[in-house]
Amino acid sequence: MTDARLDIDPRHAARDLVSLVLTLVELLRQLIERQAIRRIDDGALTEAQEDALGTALMMLDRTMTQLCEQHGLRRTDLGLDLGPLGPLLADADW
């Protein structure tokens, strides 16, 4: 039986926490974007609502990129490996 220990480095704890928080925010961003696309495809939004939603999603995407840069992360650094379930975040075109 191998000795499985969690290697925690206090010097990286803040960065790891930021990475986790940004991963969760990115997951929510992707879910909101998918829902928005479904609503647009279903014709459930007015043109003004589509424009406002598109603008909001672009601003959120830009903010995510800025937050990653501020904390020394890349968007590709975000995510969690869920083992047999696969990665938490879907591949995106960043």
Q: What is the pLDDT of residues 10-52, one digit of tens each?
A: 777 788 888 889 989 888 988 999 999 999 999 999 999 999 9
pLDDT band per the 50, 70, 90 thresholds, residue 7: low
Q: Which long-range contacts (CB under 8 A, 24 or more apart) does 69-78 make?
A: 71/15, 71/18, 71/19, 71/22, 72/15, 73/15, 73/18, 73/19, 73/22, 75/26, 77/19, 78/19, 78/22, 78/23, 78/26
**Best mean pLDDT range from 26-30, 56-60, 74-78, 80-84:** 56-60
Q: What is the pLDDT of residue 8?
A: 63
The structure's pTM equals: 0.71
